[in-house]
Structure 1
Amino acid sequence: MFDANEIKRLIGASLPCDFVAIEGDDGVHFTGIVVSAAFEGKPMVRQHQAVYASLGALMGNEIHALQLQTYTPAKWETVRGELGL
């Protein structure tokens, strides 16, 4: 079983993030929001790949699933109110 706070720490250590939120209560399936300027100009699939790369071999092993929402800082300013964050 894995801890959501450790996933958050690993992502933040690998990517310059403005905001990271990770949740999961069963230790293997997680959801998350990651906001990073590193996502500028990248399609969503590349944004998700960057996050998965920050977790390395944990993905598919200790972490069975990570459902992501990724945003650039500019996009985050528009959607965070809609998400209530």
Structure 2
Amino acid sequence: MAITCSQLEEKFRSQLGATHVDVVDMSDGCGSKFKAIIVSPQFEGKPLLQRHRLVNSTIEEEMKIIHAFEMKTWTPEQYEKQKNNAG
């Protein structure tokens, strides 16, 4: 069973309280390689490793199928800075 971007996005929103989620399937639709930007207030005050562990525990079941998962985990403040720097 393939995992979809929308399934992952919904899980991050519901379980991590993500305010912005952008998931891209990098595996040409087979659902085994993803890249994600996850913005959540739950990341406040947490180091990068702890943020990644939070994300990985959220998609623990899906990770049994996913072969590669690249993520950026930002607080809302960090996300705003990224948007301002990009624009």
Q: TM-score, normalised by structure 1?
A: 0.87
* 2: CA distance, partners of 1:8 / 1:62: 16
**Aligned residue in 2 for 1:56:** 60
**Aligned residue in 1 for 2:80:** 77
Tell me, what secondary structure is at the counterpart of 2:60? helix
**Aligned residue in 2 for 1:67:** 70
- Mapped contact 2:33–2:67 kept (Cα < 8 A): yes
Which stretches in structure 1 are left out of the alignment for 5+ residues? none
**Aligned residue in 2 for 1:23:** 24
Please list the CA deviations of residues 14-39 of structure 1 after superposition, one character each: whole Å capped at 9, or x if unmatched.
Answer: 11111001001421000000001100
Tell me, what secondary structure is at the counterpart of 1:56? coil
Alignment: residue pair count: 83
* 1: CA distance, partners of 2:86 / 2:60: 28
Which stretches in structure 2 are left out of the alignment for 5+ residues? none
Deviation at 1:83, TM superposition (A): 4.6
Using the aligned pairs only, state the percent identity. Answer: 28
* 2: CA distance, partners of 1:70 / 1:56: 17
Q: CA RMSD in A?
A: 1.4
**Aligned residue in 2 for 1:41:** 45
| Structure 1 moving runs of 4+ over 6 Å | none
- Mapped contact 2:26–2:35 kept (Cα < 8 A): no
Deviation at 1:65, TM superposition (A): 1.5
